[in-house]
Amino acid sequence: MTATNAQVAALLAMLNADLASLSTPRSAYERDDAPTSGRDYVILDISRMAGGNLRGDVLSPSRWRLTVRPVGSVTNVRALLDRCTNALEHKRVTVAGQESTGISFETESAMSESSSQVGLWSAGRSFTYAY
Amino acid sequence: MRLIITHGIGDLARDLSKKPAMARKGFESAVKRNAQAGNAKAKAFASEQHTMFGDEDVTYPPSFTAEARTGLRWEYGPDQSIGDGSQAEGYEHGSINSPPHNDLGRSLDLQAPLLAKDAGDVVDRLFW
């Protein structure tokens, strides 16, 4: 089975390679590494989807759903969503030599303001892929 | 005794003329059945995290409803006018503080293939 942590590491590397090239470099984080103050960053979550057969230690096909959630001002959230899409959509996640299908867009949520921090907006955009 | 059954082109025409109405009825019932089953799954996923034993937003799962928009279009999910249904945005897609729960997304993962199969079965049944 393709290790979940390794998938996240590969996805973060893809995102960070792109976000670091901005004139003001930005970063994508695991949820628990994300800054507690500060803004203009991206949080990444992934989870396994239904389906797939586990034979030995190989799970095939295994489907995964990833969500990126940029946090910041409204315009920056939109810009970061665009960057994330360019960095991920139709790209493949390669873990230990195994290549995924192309990452495809699934859905996204409307942008909303954090209920705990005024002026901090975010929106989720989710994608799916499979091994 | 010998029984001879003769079918003419008129019989075929008569049989085929009933198919559109049969198909519509079959598709409507397939969509209804799958929307209600999808809603039950999503509600069950939501219930895992919002139990009656003291968790917050305990009235989130009961806000999941399924209703017809038209015969062939159904909608299911949290109703924002019921209980904590208005919290759906933060639960389904996550928020700054919480990962996405994907209750609806996961119900679709399971239900969508069943709807496709049911739709195929409706067509199969038309000719048997």
pLDDT at A56: 83
pLDDT at B49: 84
Closest residue of chain B to A37, computed from CA coordinates: B96
In terms of residues, how long is chain A?
A: 131
The pLDDT profile of chain A, 131 residues, written as one tens digit per residue, is: 789 999 999 999 999 999 999 999 999 999 999 988 888 999 999 999 998 888 888 888 899 999 999 999 999 999 999 999 999 999 999 998 899 999 999 999 999 998 888 899 999 999 999 99
Smallest Cβ distance to B110: which of A47, A50, A109?
Answer: A50
Model-level pTM? 0.85
| pLDDT confidence tier of residue B1, bands split at 50, 70 and 90 | confident
pLDDT at A2: 86
Where would I find the beta strands (DSSP E) of B9-72? 64-70
Mutate to test the interface with B, among A76, A105, A115, A129 (most CBs of B within 10 A): A115
Q: Which of A43, A35, A45, A50 is nearest to A8 (CA)?
A: A45
Which residue numbers of B have CB closer than 8 Å to A's CBs?
A: 89-90, 92-97, 99-100, 102, 105-106, 109-110
Joined tokens for residue A70: 């940029």
pLDDT at B119: 95
A71, β-bridge pairs: A41, A122
CB contact under 8 A, B105 and A110: no
Is the ipTM higher than 0.85? The answer is no
Distance from CA of A1 to the nearest CA of B (A): 20
pLDDT at A47: 94
pLDDT at B69: 95
Joined tokens for residue B67: 């209703």
Three-state helix/strand/coil letters over chain A: CCCHHHHHHHHHHHHHHHHCCCCCCCCEEECCCCCCCCCCEEEEEEEECCCCEEECCEEECCEEEEEEEEEECHHHHHHHHHHHHHHHCCCCCEECCEECCCCEEEEECCCEECCCCCCCEECCEEEEEEC
CB contact under 8 A, B93 and A109: yes
Chain A residues with beta carbon closer than 8 angstroms to that of B96? 43, 69, 71, 114, 116-117, 120, 122
For the cut 90, the answer to whether the pLDDT of residue B6 exceeds it is no
- Tokens 């942008």 label which residue? A111
Chain B residues with beta carbon closer than 8 angstroms to that of A65? 102, 105
In terms of residues, how long is chain B?
A: 128
Does the CA dihedral B28-B30-B35-B40 come out positive or negative?
positive
